[in-house]
Amino acid sequence: MNAPAYNFAYLDEQTKRMIRRAILKAIAIPGYQVPFASREMPMPYGWGTGGVQVTAAILGPQDVLKVIDQGSDDTTNAISIRKFFARTAGVATTTATDEATVIQTRHRIPETALHENQVLVYQVPIPEPLRFLEPRETETRRMHALAEYGLMHVKLYEDIARFGHIATAYAYPVKVNARYVMDPSPTPKFDNPKMDNCPALQLFGAGREKRIYAIPPYTQVVSLDFEDHPFEPYRFNAPCALCAAENSYLDEIVTDDKGGRMFVCSDTDYCESRQAAGHHGSQSAAPYKEKAQGGSHD
């Protein structure tokens, strides 16, 4: 029987070079989806195989890796991916956003501002922002090539006509460098503004769909909207019950079966750092009720 023996960070060097070429092309054309020969990874498609391949291709022995899922370092899939790289690459891992050189994420951008020497790697399920408007790859590629984005605005128009608002809460489409419309991965729209003019390199990997795309540092990223219906990030209007943060994205925790709710930071590292620095919240919140003071919360 062939006994398996694996390379540093699992992928063989030839595959890594192929992925790095795709990454370089992606950086050169911000927001453009570069096809790449995604490998079958030892974890299921749709569970971060794209992000894992990107991370594997850029990871060096000196790197410090952080992996989050839903903002948390301790969700099972984040643990599983962190262990995978600890085992196959032997790199140092951390939960502190500041200390990491590579951060792989699913569905969130950390609250702590990123800096120039960091790479944020997103796991992407469906890279094509036009996919649910036009299922055919041949057609969507043509639409991108010709910058024909009228259909995307039709969708936004329909939302407003029906609901009075743009009814997209996550995976909110953006235009990168005034050219390509891009799917930011299913991050809540709260995170969209963090992508704009970000000092860190942002890489996006979609394994099952075999696409890599990128936002180079300090690139303009604009959320699509109308002048009279501007993009608005959403955040539940309450301080974090644990660290009293007023500006972080919150998880809603169901505390009982009688409508009890509390809201805490989804970014666990951010929340814990604030608590360590002496910030304390109420630790419990009234059942579903936003702060009494007025003002729009989204």
Partner 1 sequence: MIEQDLPDQDVADRDVLETDQPLLIAAGLGKSYGRIAACRDVSFSLYPGEVLAIVGESGSGKSTLLQLLSGQLAASAGHVSYRMRDGVTRDLATLGEAERRFLFRTDWGFVHQDPAQGLRMAVSAGANVGERLMAVGWNHYGRIRDTASDWLTRVEIDVARIDDAPRTYSGGMRQRLQIARNLVTEPRLVFMDEPTGGLDVSVQARLLDLLRSLVAELNLAVVIVTHDLAVARLLSHRVMVMKGGRVIETGLTDQVLDDPREPYTQLLVSSILPP
Partner 2 sequence: MYVAVKGGERAIENAHRLLANARRGDQSVADITLDQISEQLGLAVDRVMSEGSLYDRELAALAIKQARGDLIEAIFLVRAFRATLPRFGASEPVDTGAMRVQRRVSSTFKDIPGGQILGPTFDYTHRLLDPSLAEGFVPEAPATAEASTAPTPRVTDILGRDGLIEPSPQAEDGAGVGDLTREPLNFPANRDLRLQNLARGDEGFLLAMGYSTQRGYGRNHPFAGEIRFGEVEVEFAAEDVGFAVPLGSIELTECQMVNQFKGSATEAPCFTRGYGLAFGQSERKTMSMALVDRALRARELGEEAIAPAQDEEFVMSHSDNVQATGFVEHLKLPHYVDFQSELGLLRKLRKEFAEANAPDAMKEAAE
Quick one: which of 115, 120, 7, 102 has its CA closest to 63?
Answer: 102
Among positions 216-255, residues that touch partner 1 (CB under 8 A) are 226-229
User: Which listed option, partner 2, partner 1, none, makes contact with residue 107 (CB within 5 to 8 Å by class)?
Assistant: partner 2
> Is 198 a known active-site residue?
no
Q: Report the interhelical angle of 13-28 vs 49-58 (nearest 10°).
A: 100
Tell me which residue has tokens 């620095």: 277
Nearest approach in angstroms of CB 146 to partner 1 is 5
Nearest approach in angstroms of CB 179 to partner 1 is 13
Nearest approach in angstroms of CB 117 to partner 2 is 26
Considering the candidates 48, 71, 243, 281, report the single residue annotated as catalytic: 243
The nearer residue to partner 1, 89 or 156, going by C-beta atoms, is: 156
Q: Are 115 and 200 in contact (CB under 8 A)?
A: yes
Nearest approach in angstroms of CB 138 to partner 1 is 13
Residue 205, strand partner residues: 123, 212
User: Which listed option, partner 1, partner 2, none, makes contact with residue 252 (CB within 5 to 8 Å by class)?
Assistant: partner 2
> Which of the stretches 35-43, 54-62, 80-88, 157-165 binds partner 1 when contact is defined by CB under 8 A?
157-165
User: Which listed option, partner 2, partner 1, none, makes contact with residue 171 (CB within 5 to 8 Å by class)?
Assistant: partner 2
Residue 66's SS3 state is strand
> Which residues lie closer than 8 Å to 187 by C-beta, 6 or more apart?
107, 108, 109, 122, 170, 171
| Number of CB atoms found within 10 A of residue 20's CB | 15
DSSP label at residue 72? B
Considering the candidates 205, 271, 278, 281, report the single residue annotated as catalytic: 271
User: CA–CA separation, 167 vs 290, rounded Å?
Assistant: 21
- In our burial notation (b when 16+ CB lie closer than 10 A, e otherwise), range 215-236 reads bbbebebbbbbeeeeebeeebb
Binding mask 126-155 for partner 1 (x = CB under 8 A): ----------------x--xxxxxxx-xx-
Site size toward partner 1 (CB under 8 A) is 19
Quick one: which of 88, 27, 71 has its CA closest to 249?
Answer: 71
Nearest approach in angstroms of CB 157 to partner 2 is 17
The nearer residue to partner 2, 149 or 170, going by C-beta atoms, is: 170
The nearer residue to partner 1, 29 or 151, going by C-beta atoms, is: 151
The nearer residue to partner 1, 147 or 254, going by C-beta atoms, is: 147
Report which secondary-structure segment, H or E, holds 230: none
The nearer residue to partner 1, 95 or 223, going by C-beta atoms, is: 223
Among positions 158-187, residues that touch partner 1 (CB under 8 A) are 158, 160-162
User: CA–CA separation, 69 vs 47, rounded Å?
Assistant: 11
DSSP label at residue 42? S
For the chain, the maximum distance between any two Cα atoms, rounded to a whole number of angstroms, is 69
Residue 215, strand partner residues: 202
User: Which listed option, partner 1, partner 2, none, makes contact with residue 149 (CB within 5 to 8 Å by class)?
Assistant: partner 1
The nearer residue to partner 1, 161 or 277, going by C-beta atoms, is: 161
Q: Residues in the site for partner 1, rule: CB under 8 A? A: 142, 145-151, 153-154, 157-158, 160-162, 226-229
Residues acting as catalytic residues: 31, 240, 243, 265, 271
